[in-house]
Chains A and B, each alone.
Chain A
Amino acid sequence: MADDTAATAAGTMRKAGVGRAVPGSRVLLPLAGIAFACAIWQLTVVVYDLPVIVLPPPWAVATSLSELVRSAAFWRDVGVSLFEFVCGYALGTIAGIAVGALMAESRFFRMTATPVIESLRFIVPFAWIPLTVLWFGTSYTGKILLVAYAVFFVMTVSTARSVMHVDPTLTRVGTMLGMSRIELALRVHLRAAAPAIASAARAAAAVGWIAVVAAEYVGASAGLGVLITNAATSLQTGHVLAGMVVIGLIGAGVSGLIRRLSRSRLDY
């Protein structure tokens, strides 16, 4: 068993995330990777003499990107997609955590709800797209519900699993200290499962963001998905690729945001 002083030292080291890091390599190497990929890309275009509508060279995409960023329509589209995503995500996460926690706490509820949830889970969000178009047309509501649906299932399953995996000793401690079942559920189980729930929330964000763009592709009047498909139809491949880059950036941004928010309070 570790000696007390060594243990504290180890604890602090663990928190600092010590590794054999070369200073700056965290940023340099990824950039090198991007540069490398761009180089290969440029080479492919040149060597195979690809027409611009098939694969534009990197600088063409960069130009398209800067064009987009300067156009108001682009920002409006981004705003629409983000709005749909955020609303759906909030709805889906809250509902998902609530139902997941309920499933973990109440055996009766779990056994009753599981088959329904499991059956629906296999009807992937993409499969719902045609139906939502039929029902909601191109309005926001359909997309928001779709995102909420996608996020809900990820969060329900993960929350239920995380809460059920909480160390049973903590439950016994809480009972011993005099907590009621509700107190246990909220103050102990959810807190203990919170790191796992947060990482599921990040995965859910990725799923939800994909769902938005997918939905906009099939039936929408505004949004990033629409922007990209319009560009594709008019063979503006540069814009298609620029749009993909934007999708990726926003996705990464959202994921990073969630990680930043959860890191400080949930680092245990």
Chain B
Amino acid sequence: MTTQMPGAGSESRATPANPGTTSGGGDLAFEKISHRYVNGSRRTEVLNEVSFNVPAGSVACVVGPSGCGKSTLLALAAGLQPASSGVVRWDGKPVRLGPNPDLGMAFQQPGLFPWMTVRQNVAIGLTTRGRSRAEARRIADDFLLAVGLHDFQDAYPNQLSGGMAQRVGIARALALNPRLLLLDEPFAAVDAFTRLKLQQELKSLLKRYRPTVLFVTHDVSEAILLGDVIVAMSQRPATVQRIIPIEHADRNRASPAYARKLAEALECLGIRSDADGA
């Protein structure tokens, strides 16, 4: 990875070491979002008057029980679905259906195009958004290196394990240099050791770029490590139970502050941490 100083007027070529000139996210706001799914005669209320703010450049980690609509929040923020009621605002304006050039998203299923190699999968987003093919390839290579998949550039998705495919999806989202980054349980399928490495890598990338991040996870300790704020959701129909701010000191796993934050978050989710266990 080459380190270049971003100069004034230099083209915004984003690499992990070299943040582009378009850095920094905008504000993401959920205002009284309610959403329901209709399947035949069954109506499922998933979200009930969810409201919270993610200030520009900060990381919000959404945690909550399975099926409580966390993925729906991401889909609404991404403009993939319209909300049943309420407004999602990005940069002050309501989110509209359709592609958002500021957006990079990694889904729960990696969603790699099976007929393209790993490198092509990462590059396709860049070419769709206007970069030249050569540039796209270079950027793709850099980000694949960052997620540790440099050796698999020419492999096809059906040759990858679940965790590897997921990493490609993350590289693809990050390579877009997005101002709004949406991640849906990106490390769920990855083994524990790789997960720790990737968390560190993601953290340093986020620090350089400062996009606005909405990160869904079921791993509370991951949320404490990566988030500036934890949004704890209730069961379906989900509301925001509590918003827990995270200080720098809380991230030190050896500190009592970490333990307290962990306990607080778990309690929100209904998991009491008695010394004797229940």
Beta-carbon contact of A188 and B125 below 8 Å: no
Partner of B111, one of A173, A178, A191: A173
Chain B neighbourhood of A268, CB < 8 A: 114-115, 156-158
Indicate whether A179 reaches chain B with its CB closer than 8 angstroms: yes
The distance in angstroms between the C-alpha atoms of A14 and B115, with both chains bound, is 16
The distance in angstroms between the C-alpha atoms of A192 and B157, with both chains bound, is 13
Chain A neighbourhood of B155, CB < 8 A: 8, 11
Q: Mark B82-123, 1 if CB is under 8 A from A, else 0.
A: 000000000000000011110111010111011100000000
Known: A1-B163, A177-B124. A172 touches B158 (CB 8 A): no
The distance in angstroms between the C-alpha atoms of A72 and B37, with both chains bound, is 68
For window 239-272 of chain B, which residues contact chain A by CB distance below 8 Å? none
Q: Mark A12-27, 1 if CB is under 8 A from B, else 0.
A: 1011000000000000
Indicate whether A3 reaches chain B with its CB closer than 8 angstroms: yes
User: SS class of chain B's interface: helix, strand, loop or mixed?
Assistant: loop
Indicate whether A43 reaches chain B with its CB closer than 8 angstroms: no
User: SS class of chain A's interface: helix, strand, loop or mixed?
Assistant: helix
Closest chain B residue to A183, Cβ basis: B128
Chain B neighbourhood of A170, CB < 8 A: 111, 113
Q: Report A13 CB to chain B, min CB distance, Å.
A: 10
- Tell me the count of chain B residues lying within 8 A, CB to CB, of chain A: 36
Chain B neighbourhood of A177, CB < 8 A: 99, 124-125, 128-129, 176
Known: A1-B191, A176-B99. A11 touches B115 (CB 8 A): no
Indicate whether A7 reaches chain B with its CB closer than 8 angstroms: yes
Interface residues of A (CB under 8 A from B): 1-4, 6-8, 11-12, 14-15, 167, 169-170, 172-173, 175-179, 183, 188, 191-192, 194, 265-266, 268
Known: A2-B161, A192-B113. 16 other contacts (CB 8 A): A1-B161, A3-B161, A6-B161, A8-B152, A12-B159, A14-B159, A15-B159, A167-B111, A173-B107, A173-B113, A175-B98, A177-B125, A178-B101, A179-B99, A188-B113, A268-B157
Q: Give 6 CB contacts A-B under 8 Å.
A: A167-B109, A172-B111, A176-B105, A178-B128, A192-B115, A268-B115
